[in-house]
Structure 1
């Protein structure tokens, strides 16, 4: 078994990451591609990103050495219940030269397992989306949010980006100059922080830019909100505080008061040194 390799993938709304590792923990290769969440991007595109990430991770590895794989995925249940989506992932797996089985797990359970070996506890994830879950015997028990960008994911990266754009549009509607965060968002979306002589022209251009893209891409604006909050921007600070309150409320739905089991934080907005992690 010394030559055995396993593959793990972290599939999110904005990126797909792959890792090939031996049973002794030696990292053999890594890969990174675009968002691979089939709920956000569709199964075909998601499977394509999966294949790219796998190809990079296995560039120097004989696929025959790989004996098992695990995929952590937001909305795993929806993929498993969709024959066409599962077939697309199966095809991407085989296209990478892999013939071993793989298992699909929800991203919340993967995040929990990465933070503690305790069989019971709670995980709170905030990345592109947001979800909280109670874990029992290393299985998800009660779950809160994780409803996707249209119906939930409050406090997530998508939520931050969406709210930042809404604040900017409100300022333009009111005829007030955008604040620092607003100008950062305007520059990112429109290519310039300048407001047209007729502000409504800028509003219309922003709406067209946003609606031409997949909605989940608003999550790419979250770092602007984080940076603005760090710089002391009032709107950025307020949005981070609101996001923190939403995430705390989500966790409280499934974590009893006084629960002494581990609470694991996951997702890019909560695992780094970010103001949102501090608030939560």
Structure 2
């Protein structure tokens, strides 16, 4: 069992078949960019185009729980089926390379075992599977070579210096409880804390309160339109978060991450944004004080439109640093999958 294709210079769509293809199934690779909130997989011909794609929920063990690995298996099954339909028949998966958020050294063996067991049920041998963290694939997707800095802020946040593709220094990436400063979860949490402080009189008044009320469908300021369900906007906020945020899934806090960037003129929102921007620039300076290495920005917080991306990019350019933006780690995962296939087929 298995099916078709992947991104490559040939572009999208099935590659032409030669006489040999009539006798044996085409060789395929699967590449995946598995973040904390969403996953994207592609199926490609070993040396040709992407022929199938699939998307699914995130799969970070820390922020999404153990069912994260079931999401990976389901997305793989879906991309294989779409590939089979696109090719008009089965293919042979020569290699799989998945960059998975949270698959760093602390949990690498656990992630490798769990994902390998699930993909084995789809007919993919463990020897053909390469599991790495999404930092490795994101850095390679930047196209800056084998040496440089990666600064990633998505569901989590981390900065890594790479030499010969190996991580040799690292800042943060310690998870939402211990760090991940500037991540979507961090931004969402700080935004909600500012709103709670406003409502409770412990902090300054901020337009973040109205913005979060709009996201949650609440009138947090006056409790009139719609009418307060509890008679106390503070309790309305607590109740709405209890109802709308899944227990044990802090990644859901990332839903509120874009809010400060919508109102950068608000002093409280501005302080949250400035904390992130300053942290990123200070981190880059700490990892490469001589400004010798190219910098790859990755993750939705740093690659999406808005003041964080714009001001971080401006700060890096002002320091005369070379900058690359990698909105997805898929190109890096695809590179690794093709390299893995070469080794597996020897």
Q: TM-score range by the shorter chain?
A: 0.7 to 0.9
The structure whose residues are more often helix, as a share, is: 1
Alpha-carbon distance, 1:16 to partner: 1.3
1:268 to 295, 300, 304: 300
In structure 2, what is the equivalent of residue 226 of structure 1? 261
Partner Cα separation in structure 1 for residue 283 and residue 102 of structure 2: 17
Partner Cα separation in structure 1 for residue 29 and residue 59 of structure 2: 20
Alpha-carbon distance, 1:47 to partner: 1.0
Partner Cα separation in structure 1 for residue 250 and residue 142 of structure 2: 30
Q: Deviations over 1:127-179 (max 9, x none)?
A: 11111001001111111100010101001111110011000000000189964
Unmatched 5+ stretches in structure 2: 1-19, 85-89, 313-346
In structure 1, what is the equivalent of residue 107 of structure 2? 79
1:211–1:37 Cα change, 3 Å: closer
Is 1:248 aligned to 2:311, yes or no?
A: no
What secondary structure is seen at the aligned counterpart in 2 of 1:192? Answer: coil
Partner Cα separation in structure 1 for residue 203 and residue 158 of structure 2: 35
How high is the TM-score relative to the length of structure 1? Answer: 0.87
| 1:139-154 to 2 correspondences below 5 Å | 139-154=166-181
In structure 2, what is the equivalent of residue 20 of structure 1? 43
Is 1:95 aligned to 2:121, yes or no?
A: yes
| 1:164-179 to 2 correspondences below 5 Å | 164-174=191-201, 179=206
Is 1:68 aligned to 2:72, yes or no?
A: no
Q: Deviations over 1:101-150 (max 9, x none)?
A: 11112211211100124221111101111110010011111111000101
| 1:196-235 to 2 correspondences below 5 Å | 196=228, 197-206=231-240, 208-209=242-243, 210=245, 212=247, 214-229=249-264, 232-235=265-268
Structure number with the bigger relative contact order (C-alpha 8 A, sep ≥ 6) is 2
Partner Cα separation in structure 2 for residue 211 and residue 167 of structure 1: 21
Q: Provide the aligned length of Structure 1 versus Structure 2.
A: 273
Partner Cα separation in structure 2 for residue 128 and residue 137 of structure 1: 27
Do the aligned residues in 2 keep the contact of 1:181 with 1:236 (CA within 8 Å)? yes
Unmatched 5+ stretches in structure 1: none
In structure 2, what is the equivalent of residue 238 of structure 1? 271
Do the aligned residues in 2 keep the contact of 1:157 with 1:222 (CA within 8 Å)? yes
How high is the TM-score relative to the length of structure 2? Answer: 0.71
Q: Deviations over 1:12-33 (max 9, x none)?
A: 1111111112233411111111
Question: RMSD across aligned C-alpha pairs, in angstroms?
Answer: 2.5
Partner Cα separation in structure 2 for residue 118 and residue 206 of structure 1: 47
Is 1:32 aligned to 2:64, yes or no?
A: no
1:193–1:91 Cα change, 3 Å: farther
Partner Cα separation in structure 2 for residue 222 and residue 192 of structure 1: 18
Do the aligned residues in 2 keep the contact of 1:7 with 1:18 (CA within 8 Å)? yes
1:187–1:22 Cα change, 3 Å: same
In structure 2, what is the equivalent of residue 52 of structure 1? 74
Tell which deviates more after alignment, 70-79 or 59-68.
59-68
1:176–1:56 Cα change, 3 Å: same
In structure 2, what is the equivalent of residue 133 of structure 1? 160
Tell which deviates more after alignment, 62-71 or 128-137.
62-71
Is 1:7 aligned to 2:7, yes or no?
A: no
